Amino acid sequence: MTKPNPATLEGKAVIDLHSHLRHLEARTGEWPGADVVDILDVWLDRFDFFPDAETCAEANSSAVFHPMADPDDDGLPFVEVAGVLAFTYLDPAMECVRVSVRLDTTDEHLLRRDGAVPLTVEVGDTVVFSDVDQPSSPASRLVARLGRLAREVHDAAARYRQRRRA
């Protein structure tokens, strides 16, 4: 049996979740599904999850190039990965190669709690922009598993809320 380490953020979070669920059980004598979903939804909002290496590889290998249909097409060519649109094109007005990124269609599971998309931009080997906090240590297997669980619970909570509203 795995025992969470209260000295780590992950361990504290697991202990906190356990405490919430114990209080629910003490109050109701069971774990009613709707209450558990609400507890997990609030608890999971504390975390910023990003897809693991396997999920990233799947998204990257599913990238789609959207070319202009023809020279008279008003659209611009772009690559789409997980809803992120990266446009690269020749701009005759500015007389340059232009690169722009649209993040408003980014897949929801990539968003941080504040709604922003973690982003790093490189030109050659130089990072010209980054708002990504580098973790001080690699994520534990527990955090990776919680990330997968978070996506599943988040989706289940959304489906449950939709059914309750209907």
Taking every pair of Cα atoms in the chain, the longest distance, rounded to a whole number of angstroms, is 70
Structure-model confidence comparison of residues 78 and 11, the more confident one:
78
Distances (CA, A) of 18 to 8, 9, 149: 15, 14, 15
Query: Model's pTM, two decimal places?
Result: 0.56
| Amino acid occupying residue 41 | D
Q: What is the pLDDT of residues 108-161, one digit of tens each?
A: 888 876 778 889 999 998 989 888 864 433 443 444 455 556 666 666 777 777
Q: What is the pLDDT of residues 8-63, one digit of tens each?
A: 877 888 888 889 888 988 999 988 888 888 888 777 767 666 888 898 999 999 99
pLDDT at residue 101 above 90? yes
Question: What is the predicted pLDDT for the residue at 134?
Answer: 47
User: How far is the C-alpha of 162 from the C-alpha of 11, rounded, in Å?
Assistant: 32
State the helix-helix crossing angle for 9-28 and 33-44, rounded to 10 degrees: 160
Question: What is the predicted pLDDT for the residue at 89?
Answer: 94
Question: What is the predicted pLDDT for the residue at 141?
Answer: 42
Question: What is the predicted pLDDT for the residue at 91?
Answer: 93
Domain ranges of the chain: 9-50+135-165, 53-117
Nearest CA to 82 among 117, 114, 45? 117
DSSP conformational letter for 136: S
User: How far is the C-alpha of 23 from the C-alpha of 40, rounded, in Å?
Assistant: 14
Question: What is the predicted pLDDT for the residue at 96?
Answer: 96
Structure-model confidence comparison of residues 76 and 115, the more confident one:
76
